Amino acid sequence: MPRTLEGQITMEKTPSYFVTREAPARISAMSKDTKLIVVVRDPVTRAISDYTQTLSKRPDIPSFESLTFRNRSAGLIDTSWSAIQIGLYAKHLEPWLRHFPLGQMLFVSGERLVSDPAGELRRVQDFLGLKRIITDKHFYFNQTKGFPCLKKAEGSGKPHCLGKTKGRAHPAIAREVLRQLRDFYRPFNRKFYQMTGRDFGWD
């Protein structure tokens, strides 16, 4: 991490921190005061998004359905598949809470980040003790992209949407598979709502 001067905030992000066993102890050893922001979305959609990303790089992988089940007729989900495993948020959160108080963590809703980006960013700015600089005025909904975009990008003054790798079309997944996945995640989601004090409304 670079040195941080008075009045500066240093930020660092990677999707893998939250699910890496060693990360909480290492980050706490570096600085106990680190504030942690976790962006989470419905674990079923997250798994499909994860699969879609892999599919874009390796079009020959098996179907989502075949990777999801250890035994499809018995409805046995393959929890060793990373796309499924990562969505067990309650399980991943436990080690973090052994090193950091809950108040030092902010849980951002991936769904709200799309439906109300300014609202989620207000929570982020408040959590970081920043002035509420980013507001509704900064966003517009881009019909072509199907997502909110910035009215003016930093430095250029032109509208800016996230790139092609964000907001890919997901493959259609059989309704029954979605139902089985929702049933599978429900208890873990409920536990996660209890642990964080926020109901993300996934079920």
Using CB under 6 A as the criterion, which residues of the chain lie in contact with ligand PPS when the complex forms? 15, 49, 52, 113-114, 147-148, 162, 165-168
- How many CA atoms, within 13 angstroms, populate the side-chain half-sphere of residue 98? 10
Closest approach of Cβ 139 to ligand PPS, in Å? 8
- How many CA atoms, within 13 angstroms, populate the side-chain half-sphere of residue 57? 6
Strands (E), the chain: 36-40, 69-71, 76-77, 105-109, 139-142, 147-150
Closest approach of Cβ 33 to ligand PPS, in Å? 25
Closest approach of Cβ 147 to ligand PPS, in Å? 3
Closest approach of Cβ 22 to ligand PPS, in Å? 21
Residue 53 or 63 with smaller CB distance to ligand PPS: 53
Here the tokens at position 86 are: 């990562």
- How many CA atoms, within 13 angstroms, populate the side-chain half-sphere of residue 149? 20
Here the tokens at position 107 are: 């849980």
DSSP 8-state symbol, 160: B
Residue 70 or 166 with smaller CB distance to ligand PPS: 166
Residue 15 or 155 with smaller CB distance to ligand PPS: 15
Q: Name the nearest CA neighbour of 105 among 196, 178, 194, 8.
A: 196
Alpha-carbon distance of 112 to 120, in angstroms, equals 6
**Cβ contact 33:22 at 8 Å:** no
Residue 95 or 167 with smaller CB distance to ligand PPS: 167
Number of residues in the chain: 203
DSSP 8-state symbol, 57: H
Residue numbering of the annotated binding site for 3'-phosphoadenylyl sulfate: 41, 49, 166-170
Residue numbering of the annotated binding site: 41, 49, 166-170
Residue 73 or 165 with smaller CB distance to ligand PPS: 165
Closest approach of Cβ 107 to ligand PPS, in Å? 15
